Amino acid sequence: MKDEGSLSVDDVIERARGLVPLLRANAEKTERANAAVPENITALREAGLFRIPTPRSMGGLGLGLRAEVGVAAELARGCPSTGWLLMVNSAGRGLLQGMFPEDVVAEIYAADPDVSIANAGVGGVAAKAEGGYRLTADTAFASGCLHSAYTLVLLNSVTVDGEPQMALASVLVRTGDAEIKEVWDVAGMRGTGSNTVVSKDLFVADKHVAYHAIDPETGAPEGMGTSTHTLTASANVLAPLVGAAQGALDLIKESFDKGRPVFHTTHGAVADSPGARAWLAEATHHIDVAWRHLWLAVDQLEPALEQHVELSDEERTRIRMYVASAVREARQGLSKVMDLGGAGGFASANPLQRYFRDFETGSRHWTLNPFIALEDYGTALLGRAPLATIAL
């Protein structure tokens, strides 16, 4: 991507919207490959979308959560898996920029301003060695690892001279130095390629390891951002799911325009049916409400991030309820979309079923857990502690 001056949030969302036809055309191939096809990744790079959260001083666009969320959601209208991958990269860059020294971050972006960074699950051991650490870990759910130069791994075990430390470690692994176990075999979001990254006694230099000592009184790890930063994961994960529901709605509205029949009825076309029109209205309303709740969450989170404000338990749990409500509304809208699509909507050749499976799989991500969100909201409203969640 060439330097095109300052781009606004609306500018990058419009760029993402322009990629929807390409991503929709490639969605089946992406699913079959269990990874985003190279054409999709190239399109994201050329549009500069990987650079959204990167500071302008380092060649990025210097945009915040609203841009990350809006772009991931728009991309998901064409391919939910690709929207998810953009979301993961934005989160990975945010973690990189928040936890590692500026010179390390600048060095990585100087080598490739459009570098993609995957995230992996928690687990493994980092053993201190001369000049760095030796990493042994099988880290699962590394979305995007098949096309990412780096994978950011969080380790819950750190040793020095064989002695366990009260610490965590965030390790920036060169993905090419590790092994990828292609074990991602799920009902939906197959194109995210969320495989397991395996590191076997892998040496990682000190500069690529962020050491997080654990406060013995609070149990909080140092240098990992505030709970407000962590909570942004919920809004980020939600974005491609709302986009997926919208993508399915887009398709069903197109079928209305094309005069699709309603079998075994007197209606010549689905648009002639008052019942079908009402069902479409309800589906659209539910998905509109999901969008509104997504933006409510962003409206609360973005100013707090910019002003470095630590939100209270009640404020955080209220945001989590916005997110849970958005998932519920999107699911209800998508269910009505599938009703309108009929049994044919579940045919393997029909893209509706892929949106449905992608949504139903992605919406079970741990950051979106609805019953824990509800439980914690009630706890916070009464001023009781602690919350059930340990991460949001």
Three-state SS annotation for the chain: CCCCCCCCHHHHHHHHHHCHHHHHHHHHHHHHHCCCCHHHHHHHHHCCHHHCCCCHHHCCCCCCHHHHHHHHHHHHHHCHHHHHHHHHHHHHHHHHHHHCCHHHHHHHHHHCCCCCEEEEEECCEEEEECCEEEEEEEEEEEECCCCCCEEEEEECEEEECCEECCEEEEEEEEHHHCEEECCCCCCCCHHHCCEEEEEEEEEEEHHHEEEEEECCCCCCECCCCCHHHHHHHHHHHHHHHHHHHHHHHHHHHHHHHCCCCCCCCCCCCHHHCHHHHHHHHHHHHHHHHHHHHHHHHHHHHHHHHHCCCCCCHHHHHHHHHHHHHHHHHHHHHHHHHHHHHCHHHHCCCCHHHHHHHHHHHHCCCHHHCHHHHHHHHHHHHCCCCCCCCCCC
Mean pLDDT of 81-86: 98
What's the CATH class of domain 117-213? mainly beta
Strand order of the β-sheet with 163-164 is 163-164, 157-160, 125-129, 132-142, 195-205, 179-181
pTM equals: 0.95
Rg, the chain, Cα only: 22
What pLDDT does 338 receive? 98
- What average pLDDT is seen over the chain? 94
Domains of the chain by residue range: 9-111, 117-213, 227-381
The backbone torsions φ and ψ at residue 204, rounded to the nearest 5 degrees and listed phi first, read -130, 125
pLDDT tens digit sequence for 326-369: 999 999 999 999 999 999 999 999 999 999 999 999 999 999 99
What pLDDT does 4 receive? 56
What pLDDT does 123 receive? 83
How long is the chain? Answer: 392
pLDDT tens digit sequence for 253-307: 999 999 888 888 999 899 999 999 999 999 999 999 999 999 999 999 999 998 9
Facing residues of 122 across strands?
A: 154
Q: Quickly name the fold that domain 9-111 has.
A: Butyryl-Coa Dehydrogenase, subunit A; domain 1 (1.10.540)
CATH architecture of the domain 227-381 equals Up-down Bundle (1.20)
Q: Do 117-213 and 9-111 fall under one CATH topology?
A: no
